[in-house]
Structure 1
Amino acid sequence: MRKWGPLFAVSLAAFMLLIDITIVIVALPDMASDLGSSYTDLQWVMDAYALALAAVLLGAGALADRVGRKRVFIQGTVLFTAASALCAFAPNTATLVAARALQGLGGAAMFATTLALLGLAYEGRDRGIAFGVWGAVSGAAAAVGPVLGGVLTEHIGWEAIFFINLPIGLLAIAMAARLISESYGDREARIDVPGMVAFTAGAGLLTYGLIRAGGHGWGDGLAVGVLVGAAVALAAFVVVERRTAKPMLDLGLFRRASFVGIMAGGLFTQFAAFSGFPQVSVWLQSVLGYGPVKSGLVLLPMAATAFVVAGAGGPVMARIPPRYPIGGGIVCVGVGALLLTMVDAGSDWPVLVPGLVVIGVGIGLSMPPMSAAAYASVPPEKSGVAGGALNTFRQLGFALGIAVVGVVFRAAVENSIDGTPAAGRDAH
């Protein structure tokens, strides 16, 4: 147990934070009914989490390298678990959105440190196994979320999707405290506060701008203004990092084609794989008349495929150049996303299965080697930054996907929610 204990603790926490990206999807109609939420409110229940997560990931990784990765991981898990309780007890939409943002902050501290903790805990073949298991759990978590969320919402209530985090979080905290060794980067280096502030502002504004554009269109004045502000903040970040002796992020990494490819791959896979999930869930429930559990089960093929491919292929992929499984995985995710566009007015749930399976293969192929390659791309003392950078690009991909898909489907989704209810098709 001691050998694989760090992997279990990290994977447990990763499962909890990643499942919360999608577990709320099938609960959105029940939340709207209980809290009197509008469609925009429902979007923010999801988007507040993604916004906070993307904004502070890189900074959390840099801070972890300085003050201790185990420390930041545990503190993030504590915050995430406490925020989950706040979500469950939220009396109104505003409180729920604020608590979801706190979840995102805690999740960023957890997510930014996972790759570093695993990379330092294991070597050689064991590291390949660890990244494979972590990739399997991570890939499956986002797709399992709708299933678990459906079961809990239908049989207990939407509050249960947050209560379930309490025992998981407490177990992860206890295991991490006992089984994970503390590690540091350069403890003497000063924390790059100007760079951290500039990037947090830039990433936060960029994520919010994309979300705003998804809900109101690319011509919306506020969306344009926020995106301009994001560009200014990120430009300031580049200037600060170039003038700092020990920057938070070595911009020279972006002159390496391999590093740029890893970041771009993380962004694209998240964009293509998960951005349409909210619309698919609303289609299943509002148009086909399915309940939360059945809607979640329809999405299960993606989770099962990702888990099997990543878990079985981790040790094998560790022995071949990462560009092959990463490239193949990205192609699969893109093809799967195209297959999901085959839905039309007369479609039923089986039309989703081919696309979901192919996306699952792509996630399973790409996530473990992508994570391992990101870890290997920087010196060990900067491993927290590597994890933060990759996961920042992943979350920005998710936000960009929300924006693009939201612009395309916003009117149709609002009509299906506000219009005449579907005449349920539960016979399917």
Structure 2
Amino acid sequence: MRKWLPLFAACLGTLMLLIDVTIVNVALPDIATDLHAGLADLQWVVDGYALALAALLLVLGSLADRIGAKHTYLAGLVLFALASLGCGIADTATNLIAARVLQGVGGAAMFATTLSLLHATYLGRDRGTAFGVWGAVSGAAAGIGVVLGGVLTEALSWRWIFFVNLPIAVLAIVLTALVFPASTRHANRSVDIGGMLSFATAATALTYGVIRGGEHGWTDGRTVAALIVGAVAVVVFVAVESRSAAPMFPLALLRNRNFGATLLGASGQTFAAFACTPLVSLWLQQQLRMSPLHAGLALLPMAVTAFVVAGAFGRLAHDAAPKWTIGAGLVVVGVGSGLLTIVDAGSSWVALVPGLVVIGAGIGINAPALVSVGMAAVPPHQGGTAAGAVNTARQLGLALGVAVLGTVFHEVADAGQPMTLAHFVAGLDAAFAVAAAVGIVFGAIAFGLFHRRPQAESAKEEQQVVAA
């Protein structure tokens, strides 16, 4: 059992940071009452965390390659715990938003390094099993967050959705310090300040623009300005990286078809599988009058299926061709999203179950392979960079998906007339259809891009643990 303690430590941090993406959603009404927060404040309680997470994943992954994955992960855990305490004791909406942003910084440091730590700790089929369990935890976190948020908010108060992180973080810190070997440092590697600043600016501006566009429309002045700034920053980032002797993100990695297909699969998965969740939650709570807790429980079939399938499939993913895991798994997610279109004005929550189960199965097939293929596509010393890139693609896919599907929903549901249940369901089905198309199309493209299995680990790697 001792050999799996590092996996447990990594999964604790991953579960905690991903749960906090969704756990706050059901607590927003109570937060609004206690802190006298307006709608814009509540939006940034959610989006401030996601924005910091998406903007800093790649930056902190690259930094971890220089100072060591273990040290970066520990620092992220400490910051996340302190920020969670700040969220729990916040007395104004501004303070809560600031603490949520700090949570996102800590979460980015953790998310960027867990894969690198697991890749360095396990080999062969054990590595496949570890990535499978990690993928299962990642896939189940969104559903767990909604349910846990409902339980804590109804039984105690909204502040406990943040306080609950403290004992988990302490346990993860102790385990990480004890069970992970010291990570290799590349302290002599120069720091790509220009690349870090330009990427952080690009990711922040583009994510902000996508979030604001979904909320205020794509012609909104701030939306347009943010997207322009983001586009310019992308150009600057490419120029800086192409000229840097030690780039934060070597652009040559994108010429690796397996790695590029992995990034495509990561963004497509979160778009197709999770971007409809806020709309589904609104349908369950506003139209079907379910409580936050019951709405969270209605979404559990996807999380449970993802956990079971990923845990069972992870051991096999080590030997399977990535086109059958990432590509075909994403198509399964798309088919599941398509099944959700059976929802009509007379449906109950039960109508969601077939689609959610199929989506969960697709996530379970897809998630472990995204991790293992992405890490195998790069040299070991770039593990943090690869992990940061894959997880950045996940977060950006989710942000874009929420904005795009929200726009599709409102275009169909509003349609210049008062919104009835029938209009709401029509908008919901349109969003499901777009999510399905994204899953199937992205899956087909990824299937075509994967031309072969990643190269097998060398005999040297099988004989020794490669430091992150």
TM-score, structure 2 length as denominator?
0.86
Q: Is the 8 A contact 1:209 1:224 kept in 2?
A: yes
**What is the alpha-carbon distance in structure 2 between the residues aligned to residue 394 and residue 89 of structure 1?**
30
Verify: 1:250 aligned to 2:283, yes or no: no
Which runs of structure 2 are paired with 1:175-254 in the superposition (5 Å)?
A: 175-184=175-184, 186-254=186-254
Quote the offset at 1:411 in angstroms: 8.6
Distance 2:67 2:379 in 1: 17
Aligned residue number for residue 70 of structure 1: 70
- Deviation per residue, 1:9-66 (Å, 9 max, x gap): 0011000001111111222232233333333332222111110001010010010010
Q: Which moved more, 1:278-287 or 1:96-105?
A: 278-287
Equivalent residues in 2 for 1:292-331 (5 A)? 292-331=292-331
1:28 is aligned to 28
Residues 412, 84 of structure 1: alpha-carbon distance in 2 compared, 3 angstrom cutoff: farther
Judge conservation of contact 2:310–2:367 (CA < 8 Å) in 1. yes
Conservation of the 8 A alpha-carbon contact between 1:61 and 1:109: yes
Distance 1:336 1:161 in 2: 30
- Residues 73, 109 of structure 2: 8 Å contact kept: yes
Q: Is the 8 A contact 1:45 1:97 kept in 2?
A: yes
SS in 1 for 2:3: coil
Structure 1 residues 413 and 158, CA gap change in structure 2 (3 angstroms): farther
Report the AA paired with residue 107 of structure 1.
G
Query: What are the equivalent positions in structure 2 for 1:126-205 lying under 5 Å apart?
Result: 126-184=126-184, 186-205=186-205
Consecutive unaligned residues in structure 2, runs of 5 or more? 421-468
Task: Give the percent of matched residue pairs that are identical in Structure 1 and Structure 2.
Answer: 56
Distance 1:129 1:283 in 2: 37
Q: Is the Cα contact below 8 Å between 1:185 and 1:380 reproduced in 2?
A: no
Question: How far 1:339 moved relative to its partner?
Answer: 2.8
Asked if the contact 1:150–1:296 (Cα under 8 Å) also holds between the matched residues in 2, the reply is: yes
Matched AA of 2:333: V
Q: For residue 285 of structure 1, what is the amino acid of its counterpart?
A: Q
Task: Report the alpha carbon displacement of residue 276 of structure 1 after superposing the two structures with TM.
Answer: 1.9
Q: Is the CA contact (8 Å cut-off) linking 2:67 and 2:186 kept in structure 1?
A: no
Structure 1 stretch displaced more, 296-305 or 272-281: 272-281
Question: How far, CA to CA, are the matches of 1:342 and 1:227 in structure 2?
Answer: 35
Between the aligned partners of 1:207 and 1:289, the Cα distance in structure 2 is 32
Q: CA deviation at 1:309?
A: 0.1
Aligned residue identity for 2:81: T
Q: Which residue of 2 aligns with 1:378?
A: 378
Q: CA deviation at 1:412?
A: 9.6
Give the aligned residue type for 1:178.
Answer: L
- Amino acid of the structure 2 residue aligned with 1:234: V
Q: State the 1:115 CA deviation.
A: 0.8
Between the two proteins, the alignment pairs up a number of residues equal to 419
Report the 3-state secondary structure (helix = DSSP H, G, I; strand = E; otherwise coil) of the residue aligned with 1:4: helix
Moved over 6 A (4+): 411-414
How far did residue 185 of structure 1 move?
A: 5.3
Instruction: Tell me, yes or no, if the aligned pair for 1:18 and 1:142 is still in contact at 8 Å.
Output: yes
Distance 1:409 1:11 in 2: 35
Partner AA of 2:394 in structure 1: R
The corresponding residue for 2:457 is none
The answer to whether the 8 A contact 1:185-1:382 is kept is: no
Contact 1:241–1:249 at 8 Å: present in 2 too? yes
User: Structure 1 residue 184: deviation in Å?
Assistant: 2.6
Q: CA deviation at 1:286?
A: 1.9
Q: Distance in 2 between matches of 1:81 and 1:413?
A: 41
Task: Tell me whether 222-231 or 287-296 shows the greater mean CA deviation.
Answer: 287-296
> Per-residue CA shift, 1:264-315, capped at 9, x if unaligned?
1000111111112222222222221111211110011011000000001111
Q: How far did residue 326 of structure 1 move?
A: 1.1
Counterpart-to-counterpart distance in 2, 1:389 and 1:253: 10
Structure 1 partner of 2:394: 394
Structure 1 residue 222: deviation in Å?
1.2
Structure 1 match to 2:336: 336
The answer to whether the Cα contact below 8 Å between 1:253 and 1:259 also exists between their aligned partners in 2 is yes
In the alignment, the residues of structure 2 paired with residue 353 and residue 96 of structure 1 have an alpha-carbon distance, to the nearest angstrom, of 35
Q: Check if 1:14 corresponds to 2:14.
A: yes
2:269, 2:330 within 8 Å by CA — same for their partners in 1? yes
How far apart are residue 122 of structure 1 and its match?
A: 0.5
Q: CA deviation at 1:408?
A: 3.2
Q: Which range is displaced more, 193-202 or 324-333?
A: 324-333
Contact 2:256–2:377 (8 Å) recurs in 1: no
Q: Residue type matched to 2:316 in 1?
A: V
- Secondary structure at 1:346 match in 2: coil
Change (3 A) 1:322 1:64: same
| Residue 284 (structure 1) aligns with | 284
Q: Distance in 2 between matches of 1:390 and 1:263?
A: 6
Instruction: Specify the SS of the correspondent of 2:2.
Output: coil
Matched position secondary structure for 1:3:
helix
Q: Could you tell me how far 1:255 is from its partner in structure 2?
A: 1.4
Return the alpha-carbon distance in structure 2 between the equivalents of residues 347 and 38 of structure 1: 33
* Cα deviation code 1:197-248 (max 9, x no counterpart): 1101101111000001000111212111110100101110100001111111
Alignment of 1:260-271 (within 5 A): 260-271=260-271
* Whole-Å separation in 1 of the counterparts to 2:205 and 2:184: 30
Supply the distance in 1 between the matched residues of 2:413 and 2:212 (Cα, whole angstroms).
Answer: 16
Question: Aligned partner of 2:294: which letter?
Answer: K
Q: Distance in 2 between matches of 1:120 and 1:202?
A: 30
Tell which deviates more after alignment, 386-395 or 220-229.
220-229
1:424 match: none
Contact kept? 2:57, 2:391, Cα under 8 Å: yes
Q: Following TM superposition, by how much is the alpha carbon of 1:410 offset from its aligned partner in structure 2, in angstroms?
A: 5.5
Q: Counterpart of 1:198 in structure 2: which amino acid?
A: S
Which residue of 2 is the match for residue 95 of structure 1? 95
Q: CA deviation at 1:345?
A: 3.6
Asked if structure 2 preserves the Cα contact closer than 8 Å seen for 1:26 and 1:295, the reply is: no
More divergent stretch after superposition (353-362 vs 233-242): 353-362
SS in 2 for 1:290: coil
Take 1:412 and 1:94, find their aligned partners in 2: how far apart are those partners?
A: 34
> Distance between the aligned counterparts of 1:186 and 1:15, measured in 2?
29
1:413 Cα offset (Å):
9.8
> Whole-Å Cα distance in 2 between the matches of residues 211 and 5 of structure 1?
38
Instruction: Give the secondary-structure state (helix, strand or coil) at the position aligned to 1:96.
Output: helix
